[in-house]
Amino acid sequence: MNETITRRVGRLITGSLNAVIDAAENASPLIVMQESIREVEQAITDVRHELGKLVVMQATIQNRIGTEQSRHQELAQQTSVALEENREDLAEAAISKQMDIEVQLPILKNSLEDASKEMGELEGFIAALQAKKREMGEELKNFEKSSKEPSISSAQTRVSKAESAFNRVMGMNTPGLTNTDETKLAELEELTRKNRIQERLSKMKATQE
| Same-domain status, 35 and 58 | yes
| Same-domain status, 174 and 188 | no
Residue 187 binned pLDDT confidence (cut-offs 50, 70, 90): confident
| Same-domain status, 206 and 108 | no
Q: Find the Cα–Cα–Cα–Cα dihedral 200, 203, 205, 208, rounded to 10°.
A: -130
Q: pLDDT digit string (tens) for 148-181?
A: 545 444 545 555 555 555 555 445 444 444 445 5
| Same-domain status, 199 and 124 | no
**Distance (Å, whole) CA 194 – CA 130:** 13
**Residue of 177 and 110 predicted with greater confidence:** 110
| Same-domain status, 30 and 96 | yes
Provide mean pLDDT across the span 74-93.
92
Q: Over pLDDT 70: what percentage of the chain?
A: 68
Structural domain for 34, as ranges: 3-178
| Same-domain status, 194 and 123 | no
**Residue of 80 and 161 predicted with greater confidence:** 80
What is the value of pTM for the model shown?
A: 0.63
| Same-domain status, 99 and 187 | no
Residue 206 binned pLDDT confidence (cut-offs 50, 70, 90): confident
Number of domains in the chain: 2
Q: Residue 66 to residues 60, 69, 112, 118, 188: CA-CA distances in angstroms?
A: 10, 5, 12, 22, 30
| Same-domain status, 147 and 194 | no
Provide mean pLDDT across the span 116-137.
93
pLDDT for the residue 168:
52
pLDDT for the residue 175:
46
Q: Find the Cα–Cα–Cα–Cα dihedral 163, 167, 173, 179, rounded to 10°.
A: -40
| Same-domain status, 205 and 169 | no
| Same-domain status, 69 and 162 | yes
